[in-house]
Amino acid sequence: MTGELSIYEICLRMVLAVVFAGFIGFDREFKNRPAGIRTHILVGIGAVLIAMIQKEITNTALTIAQDQPELGDVIRADEARLIAQVVSGIGFLGAGTIVVTKQVVRGLTTAASLWTVAGLGLAIGMGNYRIAIVGFVGIMLVLTVLKRVINVPTLKKT
């Protein structure tokens, strides 16, 4: 099959997702936020799995189309179809981490971190390692450094 993933490549993608998502999840858990290390790792692994499945579906469709050109007009594979479902599905999971009480909203950063972990998982699963690495560094900087560097005063309603 054209472009079939080796077991080494599959394991590399999974391990990378666990490491990246684990660091982000550790930050959330360390700060006692609703979704911690396990949730983030599961989101990352799930996104990698779905991205790799999408790659395999596309590769299989391409192989069939190459082997049987008469089916070229019938065979369809959209590389973005399953990925789009991950992006929207993670929104529901993230919404569960957001809590509003007495005009105070909590959990937005955790919801955003779950969404970005899904993005990292998709990038890793599709084999876009440079994008995933740069994204991971950016996410970690936002979660660990940004608040110390930029002091934004909060507005309190009386």
Tokens of 21: 């998502």
pLDDT at 78 (0 to 100): 77
pLDDT at 146 (0 to 100): 87
pLDDT at 34 (0 to 100): 81
Mean pLDDT value across residues 124-145:
95
The verdict on residue 12 lying in a domain is yes
pLDDT at 16 (0 to 100): 97
Give the model's confidence band at 1: pLDDT under 50 very low, under 70 low, under 90 confident, else very high.
very low
pLDDT in tens, 15-67: 999 999 999 999 999 988 888 899 999 999 999 999 999 988 888 888 888 88
Measuring CA to CA, which residue among 39, 138, 27 is closest to residue 94?
A: 39
Give the model's confidence band at 155: pLDDT under 50 very low, under 70 low, under 90 confident, else very high.
low
The verdict on residue 88 lying in a domain is yes
Q: Domain containing 61: what range?
A: 7-149
The verdict on residue 157 lying in a domain is no
pLDDT at 9 over 60: yes
The verdict on residue 154 lying in a domain is no
DSSP SS3 for 120: helix
The verdict on residue 47 lying in a domain is yes
pLDDT at 61 (0 to 100): 83
The verdict on residue 155 lying in a domain is no
The verdict on residue 158 lying in a domain is no
What whole-number distance in Å separates Cα of residue 25 and Cα of residue 139? 11
pLDDT at 157 over 80: no
**Higher-confidence residue: 123 or 5?**
123
The number of distinct structural domains making up the chain is 1
pLDDT in tens, 68-125: 888 777 777 777 888 888 888 888 888 888 888 888 888 888 999 999 999 999 999 9
In one-letter notation, the amino acid at residue 58 is: T
Measuring CA to CA, which residue among 15, 21, 13, 19 is closest to residue 44?
A: 21
The verdict on residue 95 lying in a domain is yes
Between the alpha carbon of residue 28 and those of residues 9, 34, 53, 103, 150, the distances in Å are 29, 8, 29, 22, 19
